[in-house]
Structure 1
Amino acid sequence: MVGKRMRHMSRYRDIAIALIRHGFGIVVEEIGFAQFLSLPQKILFNTKEKDGKTIGERIRLVLQELGPTFVKLGQIASTRPDLLPEEIIRELEKLQDQVPPFSFEEVRNIVQQELGADLTQIFRQFADVPLAAASIGQVHQAILHSGEKVAVKIQRPNIANIIETDLEILQDLATLAERRLEWAAQYQICDMVDEFSRSLRAELDYTIEARNAEKISNQFKNDPGIHIPKVFWEYSTKKVLTMEYVEGIKFNELERLKQNGYNLKKLADRLAKAVFQQIFVEGFFHGDPHPGNVLVLPGEVIAFIDFGMVGRLNPEIKYHFSSLVIALMNQSTDG
């Protein structure tokens, strides 16, 4: 680990300075971070406690400053109200879809290199401004020569190397935290980082995401109320994913849904049943269902998008989990 620390010393320092800049110098001190970086004591407690920002805001700013890996970590944490207070969750939710895009020239180069042809040979039209920019890649709308509208996700340049470095550092910091901080050991931070690392590494291979989408699509092939975008395999690789373009309203945009005449009760019922189908029946489910990944289409149709992160339950766990939910519904303490 000492060798890795030396190799990534600059990145360790970036992380420490970001924490200190936003008022978390005490964290740097407590996990022994400052010692091997030889940071002067006087800068550790140059906190921002009096700048009017909440803890949640300062955490969000640290994650934004540190880039894609940490933004992704914050996005996942934003779906865990069981672990974090509401005011921090609200701030972390702002991390979704707020990542600066990379240039269209880089997009063109990656697509052409991955698909082995000029952009104009593959697509009739290709928007140079992305629909959305996320922590690992960004999405552009395009039209195939067949006339089909598609969404093309392109992986950020050199993102795999950046993420690997950050994951190594996060695993080291988690180990330090568990050794020195009682709460970190209690929450099993190392296990959390290991699980996060596995999920994030899987997201770097878009063919895994495509297979996830098709597997979930098969669960709903006879359900017209749930829509999963089609994968265009001939235009997809590990770094480029081409899927059917889906346009809808985010599930949490209640006012827009009401204005467009959608039946909210029907939508809630349909979403709940779709989630139960994935978890309790199939044991294979969408693992990142934040509002940006669940859209409402005409006819109260619900569309799931972005299948980079999924969850699995083996038959035994699925059975016990189902039994737990049934016991809760029946208010059965013994159950």
Structure 2
Amino acid sequence: MSGGRVVVPCGRIRRGLPWVGFTARTAGGRLVAGVQEKAGDTGAVERFHERVAERYLELLGHSKGVFMKAGQMLSMVDAASIGTGGFAPYQKALARLQTDAPPMDAELAKAVVHADLGRPVGEVFAQFVDDPVAAASIGQVHRGVLHDGR
């Protein structure tokens, strides 16, 4: 992350590394939460799942593409109908992927504009605001003023 913006890692291995570390930490964290709950810390497992759900949201949101789409699809599954309903924190967190995706880095956005329009942002726009107005899984919206004032 750079200044609150998402920098999408290049290459399958680099994109997969956060998932590997997260999976290992999650397995250990669930064991610890179970022991804490047995030792009298009521709600330790539930709090664990809420934290993990938020982390999944962050990882999927920063993954963009197929992983984010998978998270959005999973958010539409009725968590109450699966098992004991323990998936509710995950469904709640993943539902935010529908409308609240983290924005991509401004330089990446400018590179996309350049690739799509065949010219750098500075040649196309007299003004271009780096902070997006909105961001979703399929893109984001920036304010810009053309050289003719539109």
TM-score range, shorter chain: 0.5 to 0.7
Report the TM-score when normalising by structure 2: 0.54
Q: Mind listing any 5+ residue stretches in structure 2 that lack a counterpart?
A: 1-11, 35-43
* Matches of 2:23 and 2:112, distance apart in 1: 34
- Greater relative CO, 1 or 2 (CA 8 Å, sep 6+): 2
Do the aligned partners of residues 10 and 109 (structure 1) sit closer, same or farther apart at CA in structure 2, a change above 3 Å counting?
closer
Report the TM-score when normalising by structure 1: 0.29
- Deviation (angstroms), 1:126: 2.0
Query: Which residue of 131, 134, 151 corresponds with 2:133?
Result: 131
Question: Structure 2: which amino acid aligns with 1:72?
Answer: K
Same amino acid, percent of matched pairs: 28
- 2:30–2:45 CA contact under 8 A, matched in 1: no
- Deviation (angstroms), 1:140: 0.9
* Matches of 1:9 and 1:119, distance apart in 2: 31
User: Quick check: which one's helix share is greater?
Assistant: 2
Deviations 1:163-212 (A, max 9, x none): xxxxxxxxxxxxxxxxxxxxxxxxxxxxxxxxxxxxxxxxxxxxxxxxxx
Alignment partner of 1:80: what SS? Answer: coil
Q: Mind listing any 5+ residue stretches in structure 1 that lack a counterpart?
A: 1-7, 26-42, 149-335
Query: How well do the aligned residues superpose, as a CA RMSD in angstroms?
Result: 3.8
Residue 252 of structure 1 corresponds to: none
Do the aligned partners of residues 120 and 10 (structure 1) sit closer, same or farther apart at CA in structure 2, a change above 3 Å counting?
closer
1:75 counterpart = 2:72: yes
Do the aligned partners of residues 108 and 91 (structure 1) sit closer, same or farther apart at CA in structure 2, a change above 3 Å counting?
closer
1:117 counterpart = 2:119: yes
Query: Which residue of 9, 18, 25 corresponds with 2:22?
Result: 18
- 1:125–1:144 CA contact under 8 A, matched in 2: yes
Residue 97 of structure 1 corresponds to: 100
* Matches of 1:16 and 1:111, distance apart in 2: 32
Do the aligned partners of residues 114 and 106 (structure 1) sit closer, same or farther apart at CA in structure 2, a change above 3 Å counting?
same
Higher Cα radius of gyration = 1
Alignment partner of 1:53: what SS? Answer: helix
Question: Structure 2: which amino acid aligns with 1:81?
Answer: D
- 1:98–1:133 CA contact under 8 A, matched in 2: yes
How many residues matched? Answer: 122
